[in-house]
Amino acid sequence: MESIQDIKRVVSTNGHLKKNKGVATIFGTNVFSDKVMKERLPKETYKGLRKTIEQGAPLTLEVANVVANAMKDWAIEKGASHYTHWFQPLTGITAEKHDSFISPTADGGVIMEFSGKQLIQGEPDASSFPSGGLRATFEARGYTAWDCTSPAFLKEDASGNVTLCVPTAFCSYTGEALDKKTPLLRSMEAVSRQAVRVLRALGNKTSSRVTSTVGPEQEYFLIDKKFYDQRIDLIASGRTLFGAPSPKGQELEDQYFGAIRDRISGFMADLNTELWKMGVLAKTQHNEVAPAQFELAPIFSTTNIAADHNQLVMEYLQKIALRHGLVCLIHEKPFAGVNGSGKHNNWSLATDDGINLLEPGKTPHDNEQFLVFVSAVIKAVDVHADLLRAGSANTGNDLRLGANEAPPAIISAFMGDELTEILFDLAKGKKASSKGQHHLNIGVDSLPALPKDNTDRNRTSPFAFTGNKFEFRMVPSSISISGPNTVLNTITAEALDEVANRLEKAKDVNKEAAALVKEIISKHGRVIFNGNNYSEDWIKEAKKRGLPNIRSMVEALEVMAKPETAKLFEKYKVLTKGELHSRYEVYLEKYSKDINIEARASVEMVRRLYIPTVIRYTGELAQVISGLRAAGASSTVQKAILGDISALLDSAVKKLSVLEAALKKAQGISEAHSKAASFRDKVVPAANDLRKDIDALETLVPTSLWPVPSYADMLFKL
C-alpha cells in the first residue's frame, strides 16, 4: 500500500520529481542496506549477519571483520573519509565523534582501515553525558555497541563531506544503559516474547517474532533566520519567552492544509531528498494548524528504525532550514497563543509473517486474536496511564498538556463508537450481533462482528485507535520517541504476559479468550472515552472514573521513583532499578536546567533589552511633554501614555526582582526533586508574571523602538 511508488506519486504531485530526477533512483543510496550487503558480502558472512539481525544470534569477530571491510569500501567509494558510532545519550539528541579511516604505513603513507572490532565496539569519553549517577566521573569510559538491526548510513553535509554512521547502543563500563536505544531494544524483545506466547496459545504456529511498529508524525515551526538571530529567548531556549499576540493568530484556520508556499516547498524538497538518500521514508507533508507550522510524516517502520529515523528527521529539519535562510523550531510551544507541536506516535504490533495484530481481521480466528490484543493494550493503558504520561513528559510539554490545548494531560483511549459498543456488549456478556454490511460477518456466536473500516476520527484523544493502530498523540515534538515507545512496549508486554498465562492454562482457549476480553473491558473500560477531551466536563468525568490528571513534568516523573515501576521494568528486563532511577534523576535535572536557562534568558532580556528600550522611550516622551508645556500646548495624551508606561515599567522591575529571588532560591536547592519543584512552583509563575508586563509594554512602545521582532514578524513573514 505504502511503497516507493506511493512516494513517487506524492512527490510528483508536489512537483519535486523533476528536480529529484526520480525518487526511486536516489532513495536509500546512502544506506548500507540489505541489498548492498547481499551484493558485497560473501554468502556465508551475509547469512551469519542476517541471523544476528533477525534472531539476535551472537556476532562473531570473523563476520564483523568482513562486514566492516565491506562497509568501509562502500563508504569510501561514496566519498567518506570518516566513520562514527552514532548514539543516543539521555540528552535526547544524537551524539557522534568522527574518526578517519586512516592508518599509517611503514613508508610514511596511510591506508584506509576499519576493523570488525572498530565496527562493533567504540569507546567514546562518556564523562560529559548525563548518567544520573550511574557512571562516576572518575570512570569516564562509556562503550558504544553496534546495533545491526538499524542499518549503517552515510551523512552528507553541505560542503560534500561524507561520514559513515554506525547506529550504536551506549552503555557504561559495567554494562548499564546510558542511552535511549538500549531500553527500546529490550522492550521490543519483551513485547515480542509475550505476544508470541499469546499467539501460540491462540493456535498460531507460523509467527516467530512480533515487532512493534511506529510511524511518528513530526510537527515543527519555521521562521526566518534574521528574526531568530535577534531573539535571545529562541537561541537559548527554543521558544519565545516574551511576545504580545499578533493581530492575527490561527483563528481563520487558513493555514491548515493550505497551499504550501514556494519558499517552504523548496525547503521541503531539499529535506526530502536528504532524508530519502538516508533511507528515511518521508511521505506526507503539509501546513499545520498554527501559522508557520508544518508537519512531516514518514511511512511506519520497526520502532527501532523509526526512532533512529526520527532523530535524523529532527536533525535534518534544522540543518536544511538553515540552508534556506530559515530556522526550524521543534520546541513544543515556541509561541504562546497558537498551537504547539507534538509528535503523533502511531503504534502497532506486527508479526514476522506480516500480520498486523491490531488489524480487525477477516476471519473468526483473526477476530478473536484482534480482540485479545486490543483488550490487552486497553488494560495496559489504564493500569499504567501514569507511566505513559511520564514517558511523554518534557519541559516544553508542560505548556501543551492540559493547558487549553491538545491533548489534555488525562490519558484515555478513543475506540470509535462501533468498536466501543462491541467491547462493552462483550463486557456485559451480551452477544453482539452483526449490523449488516458495515460489519464483517464472522459466523461464530462467541465473538461479535467487527466494523470493517474504522473511519471514525477523534482529534482530541491522547490515545486513539485509528483502524489498525493506536495513535499516541501526547508525545512532545522535540524528544526522542524511544522513551514513550519503551513504555508502550513494556506495559503491553505485561498485559500480554498475563493474558498468555491464562490462555496457556485454559482447557477451552476460545472460551477463555472471550472471558478475558469480558473481564478486561469490565475492569479497564473506564479508560475508553470517545467524546471531546478538551471539554471541562471530561475533566470532571475522568476524575469520577478515577483516571489520573497529571499536569506537570515534575509530577509525571514521580512514578519513576516508585518501587512497583522498578519491578515492572526489571521483570521484563527493560531497565534495572539503577537504570530507571538514573533516568528519573537525569530528567528532573533536565527540567531544572531548562527552566533555569529560560529564567536567565528572561532576566537578561528584561534587563538589557526591554528596560533600556522603555527608559529611552519614556525619556523621549518626557522631553516632548516639557517641549509642549514650554510652547503652551496641551500634553494630556502624552502624559497619559507616559503614565501607563511608567506604571508598567515599575511593576515589571518589581516582578523582575521576584523572579531573580525565586531563581536564586531554586538554584540553591540540591535535592533533584525539590529543586525541580521549586523551579516549577516559584520560578515559572514569576517568569509568566513578568512576561505579562513586558507584553503589555510591547503594545505601547513604537514598533520602531521595540528591540526584538514581534510575533507578527516571526509568524507571518516567511
Select from ligand ADP, Mg ion, none the partner in contact with residue 591, using the beta carbon and a kind-dependent cut-off of 5 to 8 Å. none
Instruction: For residue 577, give every residue at least 6 positions away whose Cβ sits within 8 Å of its Cβ, in sequence order, or none.
Output: 566, 570
CB-CB neighbours of 50 under 10 Å: 16
Q: Which does 214 bind (CB under 5 to 8 A by kind): ligand ADP, Mg ion, none?
A: ligand ADP
Min dist. Cβ of residue 219 to Mg ion (A): 10
Identify the DSSP state of 534.
T
Residue 460 Cβ, how far from Mg ion at the closest point, in Å?
12
When the beta carbons of 172 and 272 are compared against ligand ADP, the nearer one is 272
Q: Which residue number, 479 or 708, has a Cβ lying nearer to Mg ion?
A: 479
Could you tell me the smallest distance in angstroms from the CB atom of residue 286 to Mg ion? Answer: 11
CB 193 within 8 A of CB 500: no
Residue 639 DSSP SS3: helix
Nearer of residues 334 and 467 to ligand ADP, judged by Cβ: 467
Residue 469 binds which entry of Mg ion, ligand ADP, none, CB below 5-8 Å type-dependent: ligand ADP
Interacting residues with Mg ion between 340 and 379 (CB under 5 A): 344
**Residues facing 360 on adjacent strands:** none
Which grid cell sits at 397?
Answer: 510539554
Cβ atoms of 279 and 31 within 8 Å: the answer is yes
The site partner of 20 among ligand ADP, Mg ion, none (C-beta below 5 to 8 Å per kind) is none
287-346: contacts with Mg ion (CB under 5 A)? 344
C-alpha to C-alpha distance for 711 and 658, rounded to whole angstroms: 26
Shortest distance, position 674 Cβ to ligand ADP, whole Å: 40
Nearest CA among 422, 383, 365, 305 for reference residue 547 = 383
DSSP labels, 242-293? --PPPS--STT--STTPPPPHHHHHHHHHHHHHHHHTT--EEEEEE-SSTTE
Pick 303 or 638: Cβ nearer ligand ADP: 303
Residue 211 neighbours by CB under 8 Å, 6+ apart: 188, 192, 302, 303, 349, 350, 351, 352
Element of type H or E holding 217: strand 210-224
Indicate the residue among 172 and 466 with the shorter CB distance to ligand ADP: 466
- The Cα–Cα gap between 305 and 688 comes to 39
- 95 beta partners: 87
Residue least distant from ligand ADP (Cβ): 215
Residue 290 C-beta: closest distance to Mg ion, Å = 16
Residue found by looking up cell 513578568 in the block: 690
CA distance 577 to 568: 10
Q: How far is the CB of 158 from ligand ADP (least distance, A)?
A: 28
Complex with ligand ADP: residue 2 or 54, whichever CB lies closer: 2
Point out which residues bind ligand ADP (CB under 6 A). Answer: 213-215, 217, 297-300, 346-348, 356, 468-469, 471
Closer of 204 and 468 to ligand ADP (Cβ): 468
Nearer to ligand ADP, 297 or 663 (CB): 297
Q: Which is nearer to ligand ADP, 303 or 420 (CB)?
A: 303
246 binding partner (options Mg ion, ligand ADP, none; Cβ < 5 to 8 Å by kind): none
Q: How are beta strands 293-298 and 210-224 bridged, if at all?
A: antiparallel
Shortest distance, position 471 Cβ to Mg ion, whole Å: 6
Q: List the interface residues with Mg ion, window 571-630 (CB under 5 A).
A: none
To the nearest whole angstrom, how small is the minimum distance from the Cβ of residue 278 to Mg ion?
Answer: 23
Give CA separation, 470 vs 10, 279, 328, in Å: 24, 24, 28
Report the nearest approach of Mg ion to the CB of residue 365 (Å). 30
Distance separating alpha carbons of residues 600 and 127, to the nearest angstrom: 26
d(CA 139, CA 62): 30
Residue closer to Mg ion, measured from CB, 344 or 384: 344
**Beta carbon of residue 359, minimum distance to ligand ADP (angstroms, whole number):** 8
Q: At its nearest, how many Å lie between ligand ADP and the CB of residue 10?
A: 11
SS3 298: strand
CA distance 462 to 512: 31
Q: Report the DSSP pairing between strands 210-224 and 342-351.
A: antiparallel
Residue whose CB is less far from ligand ADP, 1 or 631 = 1
Interface residues toward Mg ion, by CB under 5 A: 344
